[in-house]
Amino acid sequence: MEKRRLYIELENCIGCRSCLAACTQCGGHEERNRNYVYDVNPLVNRQTMPLMCLHCVNPACARSCPAQAIQIHETGAVLSALVEKCIGCQNCTIACPYGIPKFDEEENLMYKCDLCIDRTKDGIPPMCASVCPSNTLQWLTEEEIDQKQKQFDLGNDKWVTSMPYLEGETNVKVNLPGILQGTTKLF
């Protein structure tokens, strides 16, 4: 099975929130969505962007957890808190640089994106990337991601490929807005 990663091209987002609707459809997700879509500047324009767990290689959420409730899957996916271990301290929600983990007050339990581990462990794309109508969220091979990186790395400080710009290394790769800057027009 070829390794694939979640790859995000923020400029494409149309704000449909289908990723959130689809998140609830993953078998293990108890019909609750686990990520976010933001209106970047709602009074000005219609730009939106998804804020997804980036599945950090050295995740702050897991490091901050005193109960080792946040496990890392062999695929690199940073899993949701284990019900039997989570003590509800909410350290992780504060530790995550992007504010990803959500908290269920009633259950006293953290829950977060597990990259649809039921699917991705078998190489099937996560629900969000399956449905995303604009290809903001894609499920790509290493090779395809390399290509994206080449295509969008302008080397002129008008950067496009964001990989070196995030806090620490992440399993999910992101392209911040501006991908069209480097495109050569056909005519």
Q: Which residues bind another protein (CB under 8 A)?
A: 11-12, 14-18, 20-22, 24-25, 27, 42-48, 118-119, 122, 124-125, 127, 130-135, 179-180, 183-187
Give yes or no for residue 47 binding ligand SF4 (CB under 6 A): no
Token pair for residue 127?
Answer: 């629900």
Residue 53 interaction partner, one of another protein, ligand SF4, none, beta carbon < 5-8 Å per kind? ligand SF4
Considering only 39-47, 56-64, 81-89, 140-148, which stretch makes contact with ligand SF4 by CB under 6 A? 56-64
- Looking at beta carbons only, is 156 or 183 nearer to another protein? 183
Residue 112 interaction partner, one of ligand SF4, another protein, none, beta carbon < 5-8 Å per kind? ligand SF4
Alpha carbon distances (Å) from 170 to 31, 57, 77, 152: 26, 5, 10, 18
Cα(44)–Cα(78) distance, integer angstroms: 35
Residue 44 interaction partner, one of another protein, ligand SF4, none, beta carbon < 5-8 Å per kind? another protein
Residue 184 interaction partner, one of another protein, ligand SF4, none, beta carbon < 5-8 Å per kind? another protein
Residue 185 interaction partner, one of ligand SF4, another protein, none, beta carbon < 5-8 Å per kind? another protein
Binding mask 57-86 for ligand SF4 (x = CB under 6 A): --xxx----------------x--------
Contacts of 173 (CB under 8 A, 6+ apart): 5, 6, 7, 8, 145, 148, 149, 163
The torsion of the CA quartet 7, 37, 70, 67, rounded to 10 degrees, works out to 150
Give yes or no for residue 127 binding ligand SF4 (CB under 6 A): no
> Judged by CB under 6 A, which of 6, 23, 65, 96 binds ligand SF4?
96
CA R_g for the chain: 17
In the block, residue with structure tokens 């609750």:
32
**Quick one: which of 123, 139, 121, 140 has its CA closest to 131?**
139
Give yes or no for residue 110 binding ligand SF4 (CB under 6 A): no
- Residue 101: CA count within 13 A, CB half-sphere: 31
Helices (H), the chain: 18-23, 60-64, 91-95, 117-120, 127-131, 142-152
